Structure 1
Amino acid sequence: MKFLRRFLKQFDISNNSKVTFDNPRPDQQKLFIPLGQLTLFDDFLKIENYPFKPSIAYKQNIFKSAEMDDIDFRSYPPNFRIENELIFLPKSQNNEIELFAKRNTIKTVQRPPIWSWLLEPFLDTEYTQGTDQKLMENLSEYGLSVDQISLLRAEVESQMLQYNFDTMLWEWVSFDTSDVLRAMRPKYKKNEFESFYKRVMKVALLTKQTD
C-alpha cells in the first residue's frame, strides 16, 4: 500500500501533496492553510494573509531586507528569521526569494531540519529502530534529551496523524516546522497556540551544542 501511495504521489493523482497547500480543498482548509501571499520588491517584501496569529507577520505585512537577521531559501518552505521567529514563505517563489536575498546581501543560512527529525515517526513510511537511533543522535546534538523528544512527539502525535492520514496526504518524505504549526493550530485555543508557537520556534532555532 505504501508503495502504491508513493507511486500515485509521483503523478499527483491523489492531489494531496504539499504543492496543493496554496489551494486547499474545502475539507482540508483547517489543516492545509496557505502561508499567505508574497510580493517581493527591490529591498522589501510584503506578506498578506499570514495564517499564524502569534507571528509578527500576522500584525505586520511589510518587511525590509535590513530587518531580516538571515534567510534560508533552500528549506521547505523558504523562511527568514527576525529575532526569535521564523517567517515562512511560499516555496513556489523560491527563485524570486533567492534573488531578493542576494540583491540585498542578506545573510543566507541552511537551518538544520530539527522539526523534520521530530516529526519523522508520523510519515507514511517504515520507522525502524535504526532510524530512531540516528534521529535521537541528531537531536541530541542540538540539546534535546530523550524525555524532551518523547514529550514533544506525544503532544503532536494525534494531530500529525490526522494531518497525514485522515486527509489522505500520505506524506512519506518529510514534514517541517510549518507542518506542525498547521496541524496544531485547529486544536489549541488562542493562548495555548501562542505558547505552542513560541516553543516551536525555540526548537526550530536550536543550535548545535559544543563541548
Structure 2
Amino acid sequence: MELDIGFLAGVLGKKDLVELFNEASKARKDSINSIFWNEEVGQWCDYWLNNNNIISEGVHKWDSLNQNKGPFASNFIPLWIDLFNKDHGRVEKVITSFKTSGLLCPAGIATTLNKTGQQWDYPNGWAPLQHMIVEGLLKSGTHDGKSLAKDIAMRWLRTNYAVYNKTGAMYEKYDVEKCGIYGGGGEYVAQTGFGWSNGVVLALLEEFGWPEDCKMDCQE
C-alpha cells in the first residue's frame, strides 16, 4: 500500500511524500519479518496475541511460542509482495519449505491441512491464494520458483476445466485432494459463478497460455 501511494505521489511530483511512504514501506517490511518470519520452518507464520505478554496498553512482548507454526497457504503470501522477493536466499528457503509443507495437492494448494469440515480448511482450495502464490513464485526470478508456479497453475487449471466440463459451472472453491471435484463444507452449499475463480483462470491462461503440450483431463 505504501509503495502504491508513494508511486502516485511521484506522479504528482510530491518528492517529500514519496520519501515518507517509501520509509513507511520499509518499516512495514521490517515489522512483518521481525514478527512473522520463522527461520526454522522457512515461513511467515501467524502470530497470536497473548494477554499475558502485555507490557503496556497496545504493546505486547514478542514470544516465539505465540507463532502458529502449522502450515497454511497464507504463510507464503509475502512472496507476492515485491519487498519480500528480493532476498534470494530467503526465497529459496521459502520455496523449499512450501514443497515440504504438504499443502501442494494433486489439484492445487490446500488452504490448511486441518480437516474441520469448514469451508476454508482441508481439502478446499481457493482461487485467490493459488494466484497470489503463483505470482509470488514467478516474481522470485528463480528457475525453481518459475517451474513450481507453472506446476501449480496447471493443477488448478486442470481441475477447473474438468469440473466445468462435468457441471457447466465454475465454483467458488475446489477440492484439491482429487482433480475434477468442487469444494464443500462450511455453512452453505458451494456457490457457482464465480468472480475470483473466473478471474484467476483467465489470469493463469494469460500468463501461461493454453497448455497444448499437456493433457488437461484429470490424470488418474
Same fold (TM over 0.5): no
Greater CA radius of gyration, 1 or 2?
2
TM-score by length of 2: 0.25
